A = this chain, B = another copy of it.
Amino acid sequence: MTADLDRQFAGKRVMITGGLGFIGSNLAHRLAAAGAHVLLVDSLIPEYGGNLYNICGIENRVQVNISDVRDTYGVNYLVQGQEYIFNLAGQVSHLDSVEDPVTDLEINARAQVTLLEACRRQNPGVRIVFAGTRQIYGRPQYLPVDERHPLAPVDPNGISNAAGEWYHLLYSELHGVHACSLRLTNTYGPRMRVRDARQTFIGWWFRQIVEGQEIQIYGDGAQIRDFNFVDDVLDAMLLAAASPKSAGRVYNLGAEPISLKAVAEMLVELNGSGSYRLVPFPAARKAIDIGDYYGDTKRIAEELSWRPQTGLREGLAQTIQYYKTHARHYW
């Protein structure tokens, strides 16, 4: 399936915003291998996920444009002639959004509008896949959470992401710009940012386990989450981009639910050494914690035939191995 899917992008002009980041760069490797003409747009804001090492090995097969999605003129030019846009650039830190909600809104909502306007005016035939987030559901009212669950963000980042997603759906409906959103849950894998816990705790855990530091789990460790290996997320993105059915649609990603404590245990086991400890929630984290979460993925299974292929154990092992080998480019 994967080979057939990837072949559809051979020779296509594809733009990836946030293209030097975690998911964007993995997508770049895959699309470059498939023979697509890949344009990576990334601002390389130091605290964000962009890292030039992420495209090590494909530097000469992709085009890199260092610019910010808030740069309206740049975006207006860059979208022209693209057949697909994977729109992954974003401010993803919950805590940063609490401290600087204006920047968060400008990147995650205002820049999305200007990108969509640019497509509406200059390239209405493009297909856009937006990287949304399950975070916009807020604290789950029921489990598993399906796409009809009410949206109730618990931090500014959730608000800006909800707005950014809505704009995509609206441009699909009002202006015929084919756009859809995947609501990502915890994604992990090679090339993710592991410099600190600013964006994701799981990235930080990979670093701690590889460095031999003790992993800290907030609370009792019983919190439930679901984790997708990045390759499975790429499958979903390519399926959504390729399908005519996806216009104006949102799809949850997700996987088997598991407690954070069980994940930490698995990391220790796979690494062959290490430890974890339960610590009290810092107040700023507790205020925006959402309790248990796992998503219902029936819709994307039915409409796009997506199913995650990589088990958690296998994915974690691959990721640990990646950081053991490439540590110095990510620490």
Contact = CB atoms under 8 A, between A and B. Distances in A.
B163 A113 contact: no
Given A110-B106, A159-B163, A162-B162, A170 B150 contact: no
A160 B167 CA distance: 10
A101 interface: yes
B113 A288 contact: no
A182 to B, nearest CB: 18
Contacts of A101: 113, 117, 167
Nearest to A100: B117
A166 interface: yes
Between A106, A151, A156, A288, the greatest number of chain B beta carbons within 10 A of the residue's beta carbon is seen for A156
Contacts of A287: 173-174
Given A105-B113, A109-B109, A110-B105, A170 B155 contact: yes
Interface string A100-135: 011001100110011001000000000000000000
A176 to B, nearest CB: 11
A328 interface: no
Contacts of A117: 101-102
A189 interface: no
Nearest to A167: B159
A117 B102 CA distance: 9
Interface residues of A, number: 28
Chain A interface, >50% SS class: helix
24 contacts: A98-B174, A101-B117, A102-B110, A102-B117, A105-B113, A105-B163, A109-B109, A110-B110, A113-B156, A148-B150, A151-B151, A153-B170, A154-B170, A154-B173, A156-B170, A159-B167, A159-B170, A160-B163, A162-B162, A162-B163, A163-B163, A173-B287, A174-B287, A174-B288
A110 B107 CA distance: 11
A9 B199 CA distance: 45
A160 B155 CA distance: 16
Interface string A131-159: 00000000000000000101101111001
Contacts of A102: 110, 113-114, 117
Given A109-B163, A156-B170, 5 more contacts: A101-B167, A105-B109, A150-B150, A155-B170, A160-B163
Contacts of A156: 113, 167, 170
A286 to B, nearest CB: 11
A174 B160 contact: no
Contact of A155 (B106, B159, B162, B174): B174
